[in-house]
Amino acid sequence: MILPPATLGMLGGGQLGRFFVSAAHEMGYKVWVLDPDANSPAGLIADHHIVAAYDDYSALDELANGCAAVTTEFENVPASTLDYLVKFVPVHPSASAVAVCQNRVAEKTFLADNDLPHGPFAVIRHDENLRDADEALFPAVLKVARFGYDGKGQARVANRDEALHAFHQFGGESCVLEKMLKLDSEMSVVLARDEAGNVRCFPPGENSHRHGILDVTIMPARIEPVLAERAREVAQTIAERLDYVGTLGVEFFVCGGQLFVNEMAPRPHNSGHHTIDACVTSQYEQQVKALCGLPLGEPRAHSAAVMVNLLGELWYDADGNYREPDWSVLQAVPNLRVHLYAKHHARPGRKMGHFTVIGADASEVLATALQARAAIGIRDDAH
């Protein structure tokens, strides 16, 4: 076990890292953050912020020398960085697990090789792959294999010609062509797994998106219990097959009463933010516990919860002028907690914060959250 007041290392300085730092501090640990952004949200509250690139080996040496263990909040940290650090200090999750999750080709291949539920797909590396792709895959979504998230690096394509055009727009980067499924809903399971193989799953959350970015998470998800249990089983199997240690998020599509894995996130997940306010142990506390070899906490929800993301467009009026949102609107709502990330600059589509409403009655919690969402200015213009 790594016990307080040890120093932990975090690769990545975004809001997920910021919540990790807060959880670690409450548990008595110190945290060093490595992130190239001098204004990174996690770096602002860390005990030490190393402002450097993820492949700066002198900075990695400093991190390894100063920390008892290292984790990440950002799946696009190079796997080679994790491979380097593990020579000197414990690193969780492993480079091999992160490498699968950070590349859609590797991810889809992993799902297929392990007989885990996934939608029809084709790996696209050359124009010929698209010309040879099964016509039944269309309409589809073409996704770049690396660095695509929150709707970035994706294009909906109705046919082969549109797919070729999108592939060229992506610079011919390796892609995955995924058949567009008719969705009943979207959901996710966040879990924690320790080195001994113990797994603790949080209750599944139901997710809705705007413009490809998570908008609302409802917990518990409004699905049949048998489907919720199946989602937990699949997520646990993924963690076991990856020999994963840490907090893992698994996103699912629900189609015709069946589950299909959409993607895996080798870190805490946006849809797990509500665990801070609604569960006995948060996903960030679990990340600290798994990293340090502590017994995993109880993931049970003590309240129903609805989480709503606050994106950068809320910081601008109808004429495009910058202004702070009227937070008094949210602060007046009982059982609502606002979490702002202290990001340096607001821009449309950027996750700047979130709020969570909790309570005993799930339907009342949802109604309150949607009223607060509308009151702060989030429009249902498009999804």
Binding-site residues for ATP, in ranges, read: 104, 143, 148-154, 178-181, 186, 209, 262-263
Neighbour count for residue 303 (Cβ, 10 Å)? 18
Residue 192 backbone phi and psi in degrees, to 5: -125, 145
pLDDT, tens digit only, all 383 positions of the chain: 999 999 999 999 999 999 999 999 999 999 999 999 999 999 999 999 999 999 999 999 999 999 999 999 988 899 899 999 999 999 999 999 999 999 999 999 999 999 999 999 999 999 999 999 999 999 999 999 987 665 578 999 999 999 999 999 999 899 999 999 999 999 999 999 999 999 999 999 999 999 889 999 999 999 999 999 999 999 999 999 999 999 999 999 999 999 999 999 999 999 999 999 999 999 999 999 999 999 999 999 999 999 999 999 999 999 999 999 999 999 999 999 999 999 999 999 999 999 999 999 999 999 999 999 999 999 886 44
Neighbour count for residue 200 (Cβ, 10 Å)? 21
pTM for the full predicted model: 0.94
Binding-site residues, in ranges, read: 104, 143, 148-154, 178-181, 186, 209, 262-263
Query: What type of residue sits at position 48?
Result: H
Task: Answer whether 303's CB lies under 8 Å from 369's CB.
Answer: no
State the SS3 of the chain.
Answer: CCCCCCEEEEECCCHHHHHHHHHHHHCCCEEEEECCCCCCHHHHHCCEEECCCCCCHHHHHHHHHHCCEEEECCCCCCHHHHHHHCCCCCECCCHHHHHHHCCHHHHHHHHHHCCCCCCCEEEECCHHHHHCCCHHHCCEEEEECCCCCCCCCEEEECCHHHHHHHHHHCCCCCEEEEECCCCCEEEEEEEEECCCCCEEECCCEEEEEECCEEEEEEECCCCCHHHHHHHHHHHHHHHHHCCCCEEEEEEEEEECCEEEEEEEECCCCHHHCCHHHHECCCHHHHHHHHHHCCCCCCCCECCEEEEEEEEHHHHECCCCCECCCCCHHHHCCCCEEEEECCCCCCCCCCEEEEEEEEECCHHHHHHHHHHHHHHHCCCCCCC
Query: Is residue 161 exposed (0-12), middle (13-18) or buried (19+ Cβ within 10 Å)?
Result: exposed
* Euclidean distance between CA atoms 340 and 128, whole angstroms: 47
Task: Answer whether 253's CB lies under 8 Å from 119's CB.
Answer: yes
pLDDT digits (tens, 9 = 90+) for 97-132: 999 999 999 999 999 999 999 999 999 999 999 999
* Euclidean distance between CA atoms 242 and 238, whole angstroms: 6
**Sole residue written with tokens 């770096």:** 43
User: Could you tell me which of 149, 215, 185, 214 has the C-alpha nearest to residue 376?
Assistant: 215
Query: Is residue 217 exposed (0-12), middle (13-18) or buried (19+ Cβ within 10 Å)?
Result: buried
Tokens of 282: 């948060």
If phi > 0 it is left, if psi is from -120 to 50 it is alpha, else beta; for residue 59 that is alpha
Query: Is residue 159 exposed (0-12), middle (13-18) or buried (19+ Cβ within 10 Å)?
Result: exposed
Residue 301 backbone phi and psi in degrees, to 5: -80, 130
